[in-house]
Structure 1
Amino acid sequence: MRHGVYVREVPTSVLPPATASASLPVVFGTAPVNLSKRDKAPVNEPILCYSYSEAVEALGYSDDWKSYTLCEFMYSHFQLFQQGPIVFINVLDPTEHKIDVAESEIPLAKGVAKINQSGVLVTSLVVKLAVAGQPLEKGKDYAAAFDEDGNVIINRISGGAIPDSQTSLTVSFTKLEPSKVIAKDIIGGVDVTTGQLTGLELVQQVFPRFRLLPGLLLAPGWSQDPVVGAVMKAKSTNINGHFRCMALLDIPTDTIKKYTDAPAWKEQNNYTAETQAVCYPKLKLGDHIFHQSTQLAGVICQVDQKNEGVPYESPSNKSYQANSAVLDDGTEVLLGLDQANYLNGQGIVSPLNFTGGWKCWGNRTAAYPAVTDPVKSFIPVRRMFDWIGNSLILTFWQKVDDPANKRLVQTVIDSVNIWLNGLQAAGYILGGRVEFVKSENPVTDLMNGTLRFHVFVTPASPAEEIQFLLEYDPSYLGGLFA
């Protein structure tokens, strides 16, 4: 028997949205992991970093960007654009990509010696007084540490086996060899024995590890390889079997030296997907040369941050951190507005110095001009559709396996419509709605537990062309007689 007053909770009829991260860069490449402060060098492991110091501590840093490609992105994104976080995935493995350096003599002055080579694996260092001598003991006879440039400094320890009068030491060691990293390492795969993921396959681990969705896929220094580009395209359209993002790629500037040759290279190598943004040429700031995709990611993240993370605004006509456009060898490329518009018309993002300094110039995905559907051809519209779709998945995952009844249908309709109305009120979309259409939900599908909701949404296209019509009006001549 029940006697009294009781309370029973019912599920909330409207769900707040779980919005997806739109611009989290996931960057693949090589890093000087011999400088890592971690106990174990991070190899084929997603590393989430919110600051430059955090990234340097985890992965090391070197100004040799051609050898260590992740350092370019680290410097650009954190230092120049002041953006974060970033997920880094280093594929340079000290156990594989290495070479042994034979014994050689280095000078010792005032108890200090220096190995003028980068990439030294300190654990492999062998120090002797002479070629035929016995190895000295680290921590007792000498101390070894890296300087700011990544070179190893050997310091004599007083009371050890190195005499005050010693003027040289014999050293041998193993060092990283970044040139042994090939495109296959970036592409990666799945170990059939252990099931371990490597390379681009690791994009599948980002969300399970960090609860953050990849927004941009990059591999500066590698994305100009057509096979790498193809795999990046495949990964961007199917992350964890549900999510989508954009891949930022570069056209090579060592072989493609004329801007007029870039569109043909793009077509021949199948850089034509709606989820790809393709860049040409490179950028230069001071002594540093950047892949344009690196700085495009910085611009995209800056624009998204300004808009509360909603990717509705184009990165085009926003400032790069550069003072020239260059080829791989540093040769300057001067693109006027006509030349930059030609590249834009072929679905290529270019830099332009027209008014207000160097800017990103181009709204179109790589699918343009073959595809003119605004969802597939405009970068901000494509990103908005990805962001809305990803957000819907995250929001309503909690409703999977609930009873497929009227309450569930109404909850989805009300929740989505309220969210879309909010986006419209904020100016992020022109309008949107969701409907549960009878013709799209046959009885057999409903019996089988499949429900389809039709979402109509219209993000604003970028104002790519603004025209003013000028006309001479003779009626104003009457003002001469007023």
Structure 2
Amino acid sequence: MAISHGFNKTEAATSVSAPVSVNSGLQVIVGTAPVNLLADPAAAANTPLLANTFKEAAAAVGYSDDFAKYTLCDAISASFQVMGVAPVVLINVLDPAKHTTEMKTKSVQVNDGVAEIGETGILLGTLVVKKETTALVANEDYTASFNDDGTVNIAIVTGGKGDGATALTVTGSILDPTKVTAADIVGGVNASTGAETGLEVVRQVFPKLGMVPGIILAPRFSKDPLVCAAMQAKCRKINGVFDAVCYIDIDSSTTGAKKYTDVAGQKVKQGATSREAYALWLYGKIGTAIYSGSALAAAATVYNDSLYNDCPNASPSNVSVPISAACMEDGTEVLMDQEQGNVLNEQGVATFIRSGDFVVWGNETCCYPKNTDPKDAFLCVRRFFNHTWTQFVLSNQSKLDKPMNKKRLQSIIDSENMKGSVYVSTEVCASYSMKADPDRNTAAELVAGHYSFYQYCTPFPPFKQINNTMEYEAGALASALSL
């Protein structure tokens, strides 16, 4: 035994920084995930799952770096690994009961008691493992486990029926993300059971989690016109009360906008027209990983909110994203500059340009340029209206159905005006105030238990343009050169 003498040091692995927690832009993400990695894959289909860390997200729906197959992982990585923001709500539509394909019978070699199946997406519960013609029993004759890359190891149990095998034959079912369609993302409601799927599950977020959706995403799928339309519709009157925005990917595949001058037409094809939608053309590349524009921009937006005290009054435009290149969906790099980016902005589409670092570029929602009302056309103003309305509802929910007396009504006005004074003093808004609306508070309305308020809300628009006039002052030469 060695004698201990002097100094001794050990080093622990560096802890991953905790993500910044922001609630004003709660991301609700609908897509596909490798749920076969879970103990109960079926339980992770079409239900809202909250994740505050990357580890929680991976535990909730599984994780893979293959973002083209597993679109939830695109947003999980963009939020937790790239921008460091939380939380997110994940809605996986990849259903093991529907979206599978049969794995062809394979013969796998056994080395040192272990055989590796070089397939990903395997549903362990469907595996049939045989030694020649003898069927082996899971957890008696063998154990199956996943490798980091999603492939499966089969370890032979000593003394079991597979002991001594040099080869095994295996069959089973594999998750098949290619079978997920736009209709699965849009979802619906089962007429007999009332079960909700896809975007319809967004309704469950507040009743189940007590959290209000801020940004709705369906990375990559949102390029489909059916999904694009459904996302815009789902942003309005969530639970009959709340409003959100959605981030849309403008199709940059071979069938979409292949150059920036094609984007305006593609936006029309996708039907991205509402004040609730913020459209992104181009994806982002980090190393070999390719992230959807919507996932990157949404994560950057939430990060930007964190810099403004969890308040969405600032535009995500000109916010840095740590990508190495802007690219098409297939990874082909695109060199966008400010001039080209401005062409897209004039059509109500954002993109990524290089401005020292790469930045999100675009302030306008998809209703622009047809609708130029600041509360609709500017994303940051739209989001601030949504945010303050949500806070008003949550703050006053307990007052509903109580006696409609003067003191209670005045307390609502006073509370909003106190909040408004803070917004104005901290330069979040130019004005924010509430008063009673005498024109609508008629005798008929009052006896029905209805009371109306009128509110002024003026968040500052984004500082979009700087104009500077320069002149050569010739007269200064005579003064400067006089001896």
User: Under TM normalisation by the shorter chain, which class is it?
Assistant: over 0.9
Letter in 1 for 2:83: F
Match of 2:466 in 1: 466
Offset of residue 447 of structure 1:
2.1
SS across alignment from 2:247: strand
Identity of aligned residues (%): 37
Q: Is this contact kept in 2: 1:36–1:56, CA < 8 A?
A: no
Q: What are the Cα deviations for residues 46-105 of structure 1, in whole angstroms up to 9, with x where unaligned?
A: 000000111111211112211111111111111111111100000111111112224221
Offset of residue 478 of structure 1:
3.0
Offset of residue 408 of structure 1:
2.4
Q: 2: distance between equivalents of 1:469 and 1:360?
A: 27
Match of 1:71 in 2: 73
Match of 1:352 in 2: 353
Match of 2:90 in 1: 88
Match of 1:219 in 2: 218
Q: Is this contact kept in 2: 1:38–1:58, CA < 8 A?
A: no
Letter in 1 for 2:300: V
Q: Is this contact kept in 2: 1:365–1:379, CA < 8 A?
A: yes
Letter in 2 for 1:298: A
Number of corresponding residues: 459
Match of 2:327 in 1: 326
Pick which of 55-64 and 458-467 moved more: 55-64
Match of 1:370 in 2: 370
Query: Which structure has the higher relative contact order (CA within 8 Å, separation 6+)?
Result: 1
Q: What are the Cα deviations for residues 106-130 of structure 1, in whole angstroms up to 9, with x where unaligned?
A: 1112211111111111111111112
Letter in 2 for 1:259: Y
SS across alignment from 1:274: coil
Letter in 2 for 1:289: I
Match of 1:22 in 2: 24
Match of 2:161 in 1: 161
Match of 1:201 in 2: 200
Match of 1:306 in 2: 307
Offset of residue 220 of structure 1:
0.4
Q: 2: distance between equivalents of 1:151 and 1:225?
A: 31
Pick which of 396-405 and 77-86 moved more: 396-405
Matched, 1:172 2:171: yes
SS across alignment from 1:206: helix
SS across alignment from 2:434: strand
SS across alignment from 1:440: coil
Change (3 A) 1:115 1:41: farther
Match of 1:282 in 2: 283
Match of 2:244 in 1: 245
Q: 1: distance between equivalents of 2:159 and 2:390?
A: 64
SS across alignment from 2:103: strand
Q: What are the Cα deviations for residues 224-280 of structure 1, in whole angstroms up to 9, with x where unaligned?
A: 111111111111012000100110001111122111111112123320100100010
Change (3 A) 1:204 1:99: same
TM-score normalized with structure 1 length: 0.92
Match of 2:63 in 1: 61
Q: What are the Cα deviations for residues 178-223 of structure 1, in whole angstroms up to 9, with x where unaligned?
A: 1111111111111111111111011111011111110100000210
Q: Is this contact kept in 1: 2:143–2:155, CA < 8 A?
A: yes
Letter in 2 for 1:198: T
Offset of residue 38 of structure 1:
4.8
Q: 1: distance between equivalents of 2:410 and 2:123?
A: 61
Q: Is this contact kept in 2: 1:374–1:381, CA < 8 A?
A: yes
Q: 2: distance between equivalents of 1:147 and 1:71?
A: 18
SS across alignment from 1:385: helix
Letter in 2 for 1:65: F
Match of 1:380 in 2: 380
Letter in 1 for 2:463: A
SS across alignment from 1:278: strand
Letter in 2 for 1:23: G
Letter in 2 for 1:108: V
Q: Is this contact kept in 2: 1:246–1:275, CA < 8 A?
A: yes
Match of 1:395 in 2: 395
Match of 2:411 in 1: 411
Change (3 A) 1:91 1:40: closer
Q: 2: distance between equivalents of 1:258 and 1:151?
A: 38
Offset of residue 326 of structure 1:
1.2
Letter in 2 for 1:101: M
- Give 5+ residue unaligned stretches, structure 2: 1-21
Q: 2:118 aligns with which of 109, 116, 119?
A: 116
SS across alignment from 2:467: coil
Pick which of 469-478 and 308-317 moved more: 469-478
Q: 2: distance between equivalents of 1:160 and 1:437?
A: 80
Change (3 A) 1:183 1:478: same
Match of 1:98 in 2: 100
Q: Is this contact kept in 1: 2:42–2:96, CA < 8 A?
A: no
Q: 1: distance between equivalents of 2:23 and 2:55?
A: 23
- Give 5+ residue unaligned stretches, structure 1: 1-19
Equivalences for residues 179-194 of structure 1 within 5 A: 179-194=178-193
Q: Is this contact kept in 1: 2:23–2:87, CA < 8 A?
A: no
Offset of residue 443 of structure 1:
2.2
Q: Is this contact kept in 2: 1:26–1:88, CA < 8 A?
A: yes
Q: 1: distance between equivalents of 2:428 and 2:294?
A: 25
Q: Is this contact kept in 2: 1:284–1:326, CA < 8 A?
A: yes
Letter in 2 for 1:197: E
SS across alignment from 2:222: coil
Match of 1:292 in 2: 293
Q: Is this contact kept in 2: 1:281–1:326, CA < 8 A?
A: yes
Matched, 1:210 2:212: no
TM-score normalized with structure 2 length: 0.92
Offset of residue 167 of structure 1:
2.1
Match of 1:4 in 2: none
Q: 1: distance between equivalents of 2:141 and 2:135?
A: 10
SS across alignment from 1:304: helix
Q: Is this contact kept in 2: 1:32–1:119, CA < 8 A?
A: yes
Q: Is this contact kept in 2: 1:253–1:327, CA < 8 A?
A: yes
Q: 2: distance between equivalents of 1:321 and 1:22?
A: 22
Offset of residue 475 of structure 1:
5.0
Q: What are the Cα deviations for residues 316-351 of structure 1, in whole angstroms up to 9, with x where unaligned?
A: 111112111111222211112111110011100110
Q: Is this contact kept in 2: 1:28–1:199, CA < 8 A?
A: yes
Q: 2: distance between equivalents of 1:172 and 1:347?
A: 50
SS across alignment from 1:191: coil
Change (3 A) 1:37 1:74: farther
Change (3 A) 1:98 1:213: same
Match of 1:452 in 2: 452
Offset of residue 480 of structure 1:
4.2
Offset of residue 39 of structure 1:
7.5
Letter in 1 for 2:109: P
